[in-house]
Amino acid sequence: MKRGAKLAVYAVLVVGAFVSVFPYLMVVFTSLKTAPQLNSTAPWLPAVPGTLANFVSLFDGSIANVSFLAYLWHTVLLTVVLTIGQLVFTTFAAYAFARMRFPGRQLLFWAYVATLMVPNVVTMIPLYLIMRQIGWVDTWLGLVAPYLLGSPYGIFLMRQFFQTLPADLEDAARIDGAGTMSILLRVILPLSKPILGTLTILTIVFSWHNFLWPLIISSSDSTRVVTVGIASLQGNLGADYNLMMAGSFVALVPLIVVFLLFQRSIVRSVALTGLK
């Protein structure tokens, strides 16, 4: 590649990186500004001098009795429960679709995967009506139930990976007397660590920033998660962008930490899954 073309590619990459990172920089800058600084300076300029008053106000409960720390705990709990549920039930369902033989297996699998084409917002109202009928509105059961038992994308991802594993390994295990559950736990899952890691990361990210369903199903602080909590800051205080950006920054930090800690595993898992 010629030098001019290479410089053009780098220029495009730099612009793309800046456009991608800029919203996050604005979150950081705005969270460190006071209200007068926000109104008197351009949004893309850093706070000089910066202040941590927005973060203090966020966690001391002095603003409209908002328990932001409780929202964070609810989000952590929701993420852990959904991740465990997704890993367990998605693994069982994907293995059944990949290896077990039963009538209508392909038809059932593709019918389930076809639900990926349906936008989530379409199912929100029917889901809410179901939860209301069984009395799960504003409860933890109602919050986790729609996503606990696996997802079409997760099952499709795991099923495709399971199909790449040699069937001879299972045949050898059956000859040695292993049952289906033993084969899954002792043969298949140890070979599936990359795809399990990928599914774990995807589930954590989805659960952490999920907003629409928690907004619909929760109406009290006892079930409110951090994304809905940030939105409630706007509702209680008008448009306090400093406080909202401070909350957004706090909600963003755990995902950044997860990525920094596991970036090599994430990249390796995604690459391995793509190559398979």
Per-residue pLDDT of 44-67, as tens digits, reads 788 778 788 888 888 876 665 667
Q: Which residue bears the tokens 């038809």?
A: 107
**pLDDT at residue 81 greater than cutoff 90:** yes
260 plus 209 within the same structural domain: yes
Instruction: Give me 191's structure tokens.
Output: 């070979």
41 plus 72 within the same structural domain: no
- What is the mean predicted confidence (pLDDT) over 22-30? 86
230 plus 121 within the same structural domain: yes
pLDDT for 236: 54
95 plus 12 within the same structural domain: no
Domain that holds residue 208: 57-274
- The answer to whether the CB of 174 falls within 8 A of the CB of 183 is yes
Number of structural domains in the chain: 2
195 plus 216 within the same structural domain: yes
- Does the bond joining 126 to the residue before it have cis omega, within 30 degrees of 0? no
**How much is the mean pLDDT over the chain?**
85
Question: Considering only 79-83, 94-98, 104-108, 257-261, which range has the smallest mean pLDDT?
Answer: 257-261
The region, left, alpha or beta by phi > 0 then psi within -120 to 50, assigned to residue 59 is alpha
Q: Among 32, 50, 68, which residue terminates a domain? A: 50
Instruction: Give me 128's structure tokens.
Output: 């809410």
CATH number, residue 172: 1.10.3720.10
- Helix orientation angle between 152-164 and 105-113, rounded to the nearest 10 degrees: 130
172 plus 157 within the same structural domain: yes
93 plus 17 within the same structural domain: no
CA 65, CA 153: separation in Å to the nearest integer? 39
80 plus 208 within the same structural domain: yes
- What is the mean predicted confidence (pLDDT) over 147-151? 86
Instruction: Give me 165's structure tokens.
Output: 């594993």
CA 204, CA 117: separation in Å to the nearest integer? 22
224 plus 168 within the same structural domain: yes
**pLDDT at residue 214 greater than cutoff 70:** yes
Alpha carbon of residue 184 to chain centroid: 26
Own/partner pairs, 141-144, CB within 8 angstroms, 24+ separation: 142/217, 143/78, 143/213, 143/214, 143/217, 143/218, 143/223, 143/225, 144/78, 144/81, 144/82, 144/85
143 plus 25 within the same structural domain: no
pLDDT for 61: 67
**pLDDT at residue 276 greater than cutoff 50:** no
CA 27, CA 12: separation in Å to the nearest integer? 24
67 plus 7 within the same structural domain: no
**Residue 133: pLDDT band by 50, 70, 90 thresholds?**
very high
pLDDT for 274: 55
pLDDT for 92: 93
- The answer to whether the CB of 201 falls within 8 A of the CB of 269 is yes
Which amino acid, residue 198?
A: T
Alpha carbon of residue 165 to chain centroid: 27
173 plus 142 within the same structural domain: yes
CA 266, CA 87: separation in Å to the nearest integer? 16
